[in-house]
Structure 1
Amino acid sequence: MSSPEQSPASSRNPIRMLSWRVVIASFLAACGLTALTTWALVTATEAKTADQAKIATVKINAIRTGLSVGAGIGGAMALLLAARKQWLGERSQAHQEDVANSDIMDASERRITDLYGKAVDQLGSDKAAVRIGGIFALERLAQANPGHRQTIIDVICAYLRMPFNIPSELDLGSITAYTIQSTTDQEGQQEIQVRLTAQDLLRRRLSKKSTNLDDHWRDLRIDLTGATLITFNLTDCEFREGVFSNAHFVGTTRFNSSTSTGISTFRGARFSGFVDFTSFDFAGQVRFDDSIYAKSCSFEEANFDQARFDKATFMDQAIFKRSNFHNRAIFDDATFSEVIFTEADFIADVQFLRVTFSEDARFGQSRFRSAATFTNCRFDKDARFGGSRFEGRVRLREVTFSGLASFGECIFIEGLYMRGTTFDDVAKFGNSKMMGGASLRDVSFKKSASFTGTSSSRSITFYGVRFDGAVSFYKTEEQPIEFKNSSIQNRDQMLHPPKYWLVASQENLLGRYDIVRWNPPMILP
């Protein structure tokens, strides 16, 4: 279960045997050195004295000195051999300890492998109690051996990925552990207990609020692809990567206040009950493509690094209030019922392509720091953007507003661009600040439209715009407003026309009244 590592013993240099030739050569060299020393001392003595008696005494002393030198050399050699013997003994001891440690490690690995195998065998038992025991055995094994935690998490997730059918007569949205227990047969009840135990293990071991730091298993990957999860709860948890593709979440699902440090995916996931992602911190890319939410869901105050909701379907209320999108956010082909983006912060580009809002869409007081694009979208009910701040370019192309469209008191710093957009109900742009100007091309206002108090430092241009109801430009006299090929249904529906503009007195070929520039009469002297 673990990769082999190089032992300390294998890294040592091989021992060289001490040759007898080296020993004999060292002995002869010591004898020769002793004789040479003695001869040198005797010769030196003969040269320095004339007294025969003294010469004899000095020669004896010289010979004694030479022999002492020889004895010293011999002692040094003996000490060297003793040191070598000690070194060899220590090396042998170290080798024995390495072998013993290796045996202990091998025994430990064999023990872990044996325990792991037995626990996995328990998961395959036909008895629920034995399977639950296997889950707890794997938990204890992972707690004592941190290096094996990812493997054991993989085993637990693999068990949850095993096929499991929910009784068709149950309401999957409001299901609880109690209701599902009371409506299934005995075998199903036992299997549910095993699955709830496995899910609880994930919650406890991934929890950031563990009193003991070692109880929190960190930097793990969860793969629950295609799993059926019952009242799944990962509140206040942290994991590196979460794979929930095509998973089926039954009953209430909770991910609130959790953290994902890597890539996570919920592609094709189905949420049958309420799902709570409140304050979830998606530190890496997250994908919700093709996900389905049968009941309300909350992403309130969630943090997204990169988020994609392509083809996501929200059948009930979706709450993104005060959520933060730190990188590009894409909602292409998504379908919303009622959606709340109030006070959301889009730090990078946000794109809504072919999106349907079947109920109220609330974007009030949101902040768009980069480009915001709405293309081929349909708002079937009210769309409220009042008080929002658009710091990048805003593009509305082929958008249909069937209900109230409110952009009052909005700030457009880089400009507002509309093309082919239709307002079937009241449109409000009162007191908005179009600092980067605005361009409305082929836009149709079927009912009343209000631009009261709109201000701009650049031109606000209406190209081919049709006003079928009343329109007001009250308090916009000093604003640079232009009309090109624009018209109104009835002359008396133009309330407070902007300065230098008026409604033509005659109908055009289409039975409408053009909005034309006012040319003051020439006064002759």
Structure 2
Amino acid sequence: MAPVALIVAGVLGWGIYHYAYDHFAQAAADQKPPKPVNINDVLKATVTALTLVGAVLAGLYAYRKQLLAEGDAHRADASQLAERYTTAAEQLGHDQAAVRLAGVYALARLADDWAEQRQVCIDVLCAYLRMPYEPDPTAPGHKAGEREVRQTIIRVIRDHLQEPDAATAWCLHDFNFTGAVFDGGNFATSHFRGATSFFGATFSGGTLSFRRATFNGGTVNFVGAMFNGGTVDFGRATFSDGTVDFGRATFSDGTVSFDGATFSGGTVYFVGATFSGSTVNFDGATFSDGLVNFDAATFSDGTVYFVGATFSGSTVDFDGATFSGSTVDFDGATFSDGTVSFDGATFSDGTVSFVVATFSGGLVSFVLATFSGGRVDFGRATFSGGRVDFVGATFSDGLVDFDAATFSDGTVYFDGATFSGAAVNFTGATFSGTVFEWGSFPLPVGA
């Protein structure tokens, strides 16, 4: 190799020397009178050029050598990380809970050190939570120490969702808890910016907390989830352009709380959900340009609270929902350009309450709704530029109560409504500039 390099260097030097000689010869010939070529100048130029070429070649060689060294180091690191992954995975599958706990922490540290495979490490932790789990210590299949392992995984995940700008944050990653069983856990104050799935999960006892969590553009999926005695807490959480989907979920004796939550452009879906003796709480929540959708949901002996909530340009939609002995409570809520829609809903012995609510430019719509023994209560509510719409509604043995309500520059529509044994009560109500569209039926009590 060395003789070849010497030959190449010699040929290159010879070529540079002749090029330099020709250059200097031309320059000397152009002078008046012509001068002879200065060989020393030619030699200096040749040596300088060779030195520069040598420096460039040396730099390229050093750079290539560095790349090879870095590649070797990277492969060594990757091999070490892969070994750590294998060890942690084996620990997670161990029979003893203490060893499984060690595997949880080892995998979390590995995720911090291995950014390229961080999602894989997260997926393994989530997969562990998706494995069969029996929370009852007296039931067959219960594993000693298993709850502690699972709670530790949840705690580790939460710890990595607290600071979105941290180098080891997991906020932008996805979490798949499909079909998992939860008997508590804490995701409070976490920041979710990716997709999180609780599809088909079961919540039995305990509290799963998302209190003061932030959902910014992410999606949380509870589609088909089952809540039987447990609590999911989104109190004081913030939803900004994100989505929380409880479509077709079943709530039996459980609680989902959004008290004090803020919805700004976010969406919460309960489409087709079933509520049987459970509670959904939006007390004190703020809705601005967001959507809460209960389309085609079924309420039987359940309760949905919006007490003291504020609606500004947002929509709460109960279209086509069925209420049987249940309660939807908007007491003290404020509606400013917001919409609450019960279009096509069916009420049988249930209650929808807007007591002391304030309507300023907002809309409450019961178009084509059916009331059979149910009650809609607007007692002491204030209407200032707002609208209540019962167009085409059917009332049989129910009550719509505006007792002591105040109307100023609002509109109430009953066009096409049908009353059969039902009552509309305006006793004690105050009217000033309010427009009523009654249709053809006799005037109600107090009108």
Aligned AA (2:338)? K
Q: CA deviation at 1:140?
A: 1.0
* Counterpart residue number, 2:248: 301
CA contact (8 A) 2:341 2:366 kept: yes
Give the equivalent residue in structure 2 for 1:407. 366
Please point out which of 88, 92, 112 is paired with 1:142: 92
Give the match's secondary structure for 1:397: coil
1:465-510 deviations in whole A, cap 9, x for unaligned? 4262432222323x8x211xxxxxxxxxxxxxxxxxxxxxxxxxxx
Structure 1 CA distance, aligned partners of 2:205 and 2:106? Answer: 20
Residue number among 181, 189, 197 corresponding to 1:246 in the alignment: 189
Query: How far did 1:276 drift?
Result: 3.0
Amino acid at match of 1:474: G
Partners of 1:135 and 1:407 in 2: how far apart?
A: 58
3-state DSSP of counterpart to 2:354 = strand
Q: Cα–Cα, structure 1 residues 319 and 456, in superposed 2: closer, same or farther, change >3 Å?
A: same
Match of 1:433 among 391, 395, 402: 395
Give CA deviations for 1:331-378 in whole Å, capped at 9, x if unaligned: 111122222221223331221112122322212112333222112212
Question: Residue by residue, what CA displacement relative to the aligned partner does 1:394-438 show, whole Å, maximum 9, x if unpaired?
Answer: 221232332332112323423222122326244211323162323
Amino acid across the alignment from 1:306: T
Q: Which amino acid aligns with 1:354?
A: G
Distance 1:423 1:435 in 2: 29
Question: Which of 319, 337, 343 does residue 386 from structure 1 map onto?
Answer: 343
Query: Is the aligned partner of 1:355 residue 2:309?
Result: yes
Classify 1:421/1:192 alpha carbon distance in 2 versus 1 (closer, same or farther; 3 Å): farther
Contact kept, 8 Å, 2:130 with 2:181, in 1: the verdict is no
User: Relative to 1, partners in 2 of residues 1:432 and 1:408: Cα closer, same or farther, differing over 3 Å?
Assistant: farther
Aligned-partner residue type, residue 406 of structure 1: S
Q: Secondary structure at the match of 2:92?
A: helix
Deviation, structure 1 residue 235: 4.6
Whether 1:275 and 2:219 are equivalent positions in the alignment is yes
Conservation of the 8 A alpha-carbon contact between 1:454 and 1:475: no
Kept after mapping to 2: 8 A contact 1:396/1:421: no
How many Å apart are 1:252 and its aligned residue?
Answer: 2.9
**Native 8 Å contact 2:350 2:375 kept in 1:** yes
1:330 to 1:285, Cα distance in 2 relative to 1, 3 A = same
Is the CA contact 1:429–1:454 (under 8 Å) kept in the aligned structure 2?
no
Give the superposition deviation at 1:289.
0.9
Give 1:204 deviation, angstroms. Answer: 2.7
**Distance in 1 between residues matched to 2:124 and 2:323, nearest whole Å:** 41
CA contact (8 A) 2:268 2:292 kept: yes
Contact 2:259 2:281 in 1 (8 A): yes
Q: Conserved in 2, the CA contact under 8 Å of 1:289 and 1:310?
A: yes
Task: Check 1:424–1:432 CA distance in 2 against 1; reply closer, same or farther (3 A cut).
Answer: farther
Unaligned runs of 5+ in 2: 1-76, 133-140, 162-169
Query: 2:173 aligned with 1:231, yes or no?
Result: yes
Structure-2 separation of matches of 1:286 and 1:393 = 24
Q: CA deviation at 1:261?
A: 3.4
Aligned-partner SS, 1:471: strand
Residue 373, structure 1, aligned to residue 329, structure 2 = yes
CA distance in 1, matches of 2:367, 2:382: 18
Q: Structure 1 residues 350, 361: closer, same or farther in 2, change over 3 A?
A: closer
1:110-149 aligned at under 5 Å gives the runs 130=80, 133-145=83-95, 147-148=97-98
Give the unaligned 5+ runs of structure 1: 1-126, 163-187, 484-514, 516-525
CA distance in 2, matches of 1:288, 1:150: 30
Q: How does 1:458-469 map to 2 (within 5 A)?
A: 458-462=422-426, 463-466=428-431, 468-469=433-434
The 3 A distance-change label for structure 1 pair 469 and 410 is same
In the alignment, which residue of structure 1 is the partner of 2:275? 325
Question: Counterpart of 1:394 in structure 2: which amino acid?
Answer: V
Q: Check 1:364–1:423 CA distance in 2 against 1; reply closer, same or farther (3 A cut).
A: farther
Q: Using the TM superposition, give the Cα deviation of residue 293 of structure 1 relative to its aligned residue in structure 2, in angstroms.
A: 1.7
Letter in 2 for 1:202: L
User: Which of the two has higher C-alpha Rg?
Assistant: 1
- Secondary structure (helix, strand or coil) at the match of 2:259 reads coil
| Match among 310, 314, 334 for residue 259 of structure 2 | 310
1-side partners of 2:431 and 2:320: how far apart? 29
Alpha-carbon distance between aligned partners in 2 of 1:465 and 1:454, rounded to the nearest angstrom: 25
Q: Give the deviation of 1:271 after TM superposition.
A: 1.7
* TM-score, normalisation: structure 2: 0.63
**Secondary structure at 2:374 match in 1:** coil
Is the contact between residue 177 and residue 198 of structure 2 (CA under 8 Å) also seen in structure 1? yes
Q: Give yes or no for contact 1:203–1:237 (8 Å, CA) kept in 2.
A: no
Residues 291 and 150 (structure 1 numbering): CA distance in 2 closer, same or farther, change over 3 Å?
A: farther
Tell me the equivalent position of 1:473.
438
Q: 1:157 to 1:143 in 2, by over 3 A?
A: closer
2:123 matches 1:200 = yes
Contact 2:216 2:242 survives alignment (8 Å): no
Q: Structure 1 residue 395 and structure 2 residue 353: aligned?
A: yes
Spell out the pairing of 1:14-33 with structure 2 (5 A cutoff).
none
SS at match of 1:322: coil
- Contact in 1 for aligned 2:386/2:411 (Cα 8 Å): yes
Identity %: 24
CA 1:323–1:147: 2 relative to 1, 3 Å? same
Q: Distance in 1 between matches of 2:419 and 2:363?
A: 22
- Decide whether aligned partners of structure 1 residues 156 and 290 sit closer, same or farther in structure 2, where only a CA change above 3 A counts: farther
Q: Structure 1 residues 244 and 129 mapped into 2: Cα distance closer, same or farther (>3 Å)? A: farther
Alignment of 1:175-186 (within 5 A): none
Say if 1:290 and 1:312, in contact at 8 Å, map to a contact too. yes
Q: Is 1:398–1:422's contact at 8 Å kept on the other side of the alignment?
A: no
Kept after mapping to 1: 8 A contact 2:81/2:114: no
Q: CA–CA distance in 2 between the matches of 1:421 and 1:128?
A: 67
Residues 146, 468 of structure 1: alpha-carbon distance in 2 compared, 3 angstrom cutoff: farther
Q: Quote how far apart the aligned CAs of 1:314 are.
A: 1.9
- Is 1:455 the equivalent of 2:419? yes
Please give the alpha-carbon distance, in whole angstroms, between the structure 1 residues aligned to 2:239 and 2:257. 15
Q: Which amino acid aligns with 1:443?
A: T
Relative contact order, higher structure (CA 8 A, sep 6+): 2
**Contact map agreement 2:85 2:107 (CA 8 A) in 1:** no
Code of the aligned partner of 1:200: D
CA distance 1:142–1:448, change in 2 (3 Å) = closer
CA contact (8 A) 1:310 1:330 kept: yes
1:444: which partner in 2? 407
